[in-house]
Amino acid sequence: MKIRYLLHNAYGGGGTIRSVVNQANALCDEHDVEIASVYRTGDDTVFAIDPRVRLVPLTELRETGARRSDRPGQRSRLANKTRRFRNPLPHRHDSRYRNWDPLVDLTIIRYLRSARGGVLVTTRPALNLLSAWFGSRKAIRIAQDHMNLGLYKPPLRAAILRAYPRLDAVAVLTEHDRATYAAGFGDRKVRLERIPNGIPPWPLPPAQLESKVLVAAGRLVRQKGFDLLITAFAAVSARHPDWQLRIFGWGAKKAKLTAQIAELGLTGRVRLEGPTRRLDHELAAASGYVLSSRFEGLPLVLLEAASAGVPAVAFDCPTGPAEIIEHGRNGLLVPPKDVAGLAEGMNRLIEQPAERRAMGAAARADSGRFAMAKVRDDWERLFTDLAAARGWSPPAPALGPGEQQSGHDRHDRQHQ
């Protein structure tokens, strides 16, 4: 079966990108898989993509609107002019729309129209909305929501609830979000599937949990709450000055976070390490993971920490952590934005090494619920069900030497 994923930027380092790459890599054994990227912000992707998966940049643009060949800060004259006009399309309510212009819209729509047959999976509200209104009905169209409906502003939420029933299915990460969508759609018939993020097999031995290091990771943006984490760690450091907090990631808040670290006297104890392609090694060398997000979908890095056998302390933010962590058994949950509670959770990991090891072992055992092989099977079951609803026959088996394909077989395969 032909499976196409459409991402805003496949060259970035966010959780949505990593989740989609994991899916594509897992599916390409049995399917013809393609990842299309609206933008191309680098020469190479952050996450390793299986060579059998085609990577298709739709534009040679950076998210600023400049072409990759332009000087830094340069933007095309046409794009600057078109930005003056209000875009009537519903995807304008997505926060990412500010990075787009009508030429980018047209490029995306042309790609959606060209995806005839097979499965088309779009991965954020703006792309889902464009697929709903402009995507070819000759393809099975699936919207993935990597965040959660309740966090979207009312205009975007209204656009979603109006458009998504035009699609074949909507896939969400958590049971909470499935219930939220079901309530929003009411009597309208929409296929809702809860399929969580999946994690590949852990490539290293389990963490020993003996180092004096706590780890956090994610984009340096307000959502991830690293400002709250740094404040909380100041209290931890006062009791345990020999422990370190290492934060991996990049983003717009780096300068502010650096200044906050200096103001709290935590230089050398809290380290902004920048992005890494070796987060698995960093987790394996840590004794705890901390998630300080104000909101999430289903945090993939929390699943990776569990797979490594690293216990986590996390804000019980909407949504995701509560579907991964059972408080006191395989990690610690703290009320959202409770900085003092987060500090106490970190102190508990530090001061109770036997409990830390027990929670890490339980987290590792529980991580099998999110194994990529299981998640792949969930996706394939959905694809098969939707294809059967269309009356599509299964793909023909590979031909042996000297065999010929009939005209009927060719016609069937054109619709897979």
Using DSSP, state whether 143 is helix, strand or coil.
strand
pLDDT value for 104:
84
CA distances from 306 to 201, 241, 331, 364 (A): 12, 26, 9, 5
Looking only at the bridges linking them, the beta strands covering 244-248 and 312-315 are unpaired
Residue 319 dihedral angles phi and psi, to the nearest 5°: -130, 175
Q: Is 365 helix (H, G, I), strand (E, B) or coil?
A: helix
Parallel/antiparallel/unpaired status of strands 169-172 and 140-144? parallel
Residues 134, 130: Cα–Cα separation, whole Å = 6
231: helix, coil or strand?
Answer: helix
pLDDT digits (tens, 9 = 90+) for 308-318: 999 999 999 99
Please say whether the beta carbons of 227 and 260 come within 8 A: yes
Residue 395 has pLDDT above 80, yes or no: no
Query: Tens digit of pLDDT for each residue in 170-221?
Result: 999 999 999 999 999 999 999 999 999 999 999 999 999 999 999 999 999 9
Classified as helix, coil or strand, 114 is: helix
> By percentage, how much of the chain surpasses pLDDT 90?
77
CA distance 33 to 386: 17
Per DSSP, the three-state class of 338 is: coil
The larger pLDDT score, comparing residue 99 to residue 234, is at 234
**When comparing pLDDT for 117 and 93, which is higher?**
117
What is the predicted pLDDT for the residue at 124? Answer: 93
Contact 17, 300 (CB under 8 A): no
73: left (phi over 0), alpha (psi -120 to 50) or beta: left
Token reading at 304: 């990776």
The strand pairing partners of 244, in sequence order, are 213
Q: What is the pTM of this model?
A: 0.85
Q: Higher confidence at residue 408 or residue 50? A: 50
Residue type for position 191: R
Average pLDDT, the chain: 89
Crossing angle for the helix pair 102-114 and 125-134, to the nearest 10 degrees: 60
Strand order in the sheet with 192-194: 54-57, 32-37, 2-7, 119-122, 140-144, 169-172, 192-194
SS3 assignment, position 272: strand
pLDDT in tens, 70-96: 555 555 544 554 555 566 666 667 766
Q: For residue 184, what are the CA distances in angstroms to 91, 124, 325?
A: 19, 18, 27
Tell me the CA distances in angstroms from 278 to 47, 86, 149, 171, 200, one per residue in order. Answer: 10, 43, 32, 29, 14
Q: Are 171 and 383 in contact (CB under 8 A)?
A: no
pLDDT at 75 (0 to 100): 52
> In whole angstroms, what is the distance from residue 236 CA to residue 339 CA?
11
Q: Choose between 73 and 334: higher pLDDT.
A: 334
Count of beta carbons in the 10 Å neighbourhood of residue 106: 10
What 8-state DSSP symbol labels residue 124? S
Given this model, what pLDDT does residue 404 score? Answer: 43
pLDDT by residue (tens digit) across 355-369? 999 999 999 999 999
Q: Is the pLDDT of residue 298 over 80?
A: yes
Neighbours of 388 (CB within 10 A): 11
- Identify whether the C-beta of residue 292 lies closer than 8 Å to the C-beta of residue 229: yes
Q: What is the mean pLDDT of residues 268-291?
A: 95
Question: Which amino acid is located at 57 in the chain?
Answer: P
Q: How far is CA 151 from CA 52, 143, 168, 177, in A?
A: 36, 17, 23, 10
Burial (CB count within 10 angstroms: exposed 0-12, middle 13-18, buried 19+), residue 277: exposed
What is the phi/psi pair of residue 12, to 5°?
-85, -170
**What average pLDDT does range 118-127 have in this prediction?**
96
Domains of the chain, each with CATH number or no CATH:
2-198+372-411 (3.40.50.2000), 213-369 (3.40.50.2000)
Rounded mean pLDDT of 255-262? Answer: 98
Q: Which of 14-18, 48-52, 206-210, 402-406 has the lowest mean pLDDT?
A: 402-406
